Structure 1
């Protein structure tokens, strides 16, 4: 059974890596380097974050992150806001322009990448993949509920059904 868990974890890691590489490729095509895309992604994930926390989360030096933030701020992609609790630090957030477009853009890129992979499979194989993912997601959702974990929207199987139907048709 442990071999199955290892296989599934490694498979999920591979899928995540593929999606991230697709996002990185897309970013580079739009003039953003991979480290800059990582910073943008981390800021996106936290809504607002300090340079110190960005550095810790990305495992980069504070000076490297500061330089990247400066370049992205000058491009109008990030915004620095003074921290009201500590005048020496600032919060980093996405600019309004980037914030409005990023959610849809990331989803579209990820969906397009996965759709290209799914299209390599015949309809019967696509059905098998979908059923397997439904079972796995359902089990994860059940386990999360049993352990009182945050059951976030993206684990909703109906959400997957809506998205799956939209992109396979």
Structure 2
């Protein structure tokens, strides 16, 4: 059983590494660093967010996040607006141009690296991969629920299409 766990963990690590390298390549082709892409993703997820909350969510210092936000603002990707509830702080949001682009292509951008890899497999192999992932995620969800772990944020982002009978 330990060998299986090692293999699965190492496989997940490899997949994560591949996705991150693909994201880095995709981002660099558009002149955006990985930390900048993380900030954009977090702003996209929250619509409007403060520097303080960005730094907490991304586990970066406020000065680092502030510098990244300033660079992304100067590139026209983000917009800073005064917080109506607290004049000392600003709310960060996506620029209209970036927001429209992300809304049109979000699923394409998020899945491109895996789609490219899956296309190397035949349809039966693709179904086996999907079924295996469904089983693994289902077991993880069951374990988290049994142990009282908060899983709603994580599992809300997963999507398994409903199977038609």
TM-score bracket relative to the smaller structure: 0.7 to 0.9
Q: Following superposition of structure 1 onto structure 2, how do residues 36-55 of structure 1 map, counting pairs within 5 Å?
A: 36-55=36-55
Shift of 1:98: 1.0
Q: Following superposition of structure 1 onto structure 2, how do residues 1-169 of structure 1 map, counting pairs within 5 Å?
A: 1=1, 4-5=4-5, 7-140=7-140, 150=152, 154-158=157-161
Distance (Å, rounded) in 1 between the aligned partners of 2:44 and 2:72? 13
Scaled by the length of structure 2, the TM-score of the pair is: 0.75
Name stretches of at least 5 consecutive residues in structure 1 with no aligned partner.
163-169
Q: How many residues align?
A: 161
Scaled by the length of structure 1, the TM-score of the pair is: 0.74
Name stretches of at least 5 consecutive residues in structure 2 with no aligned partner.
none
- Contact persistence 1:24–1:34 (CA under 8 A): yes
Distance (Å, rounded) in 2 between the aligned partners of 1:47 and 1:3? 43
* Coordinate RMSD, CA, aligned: 3.0
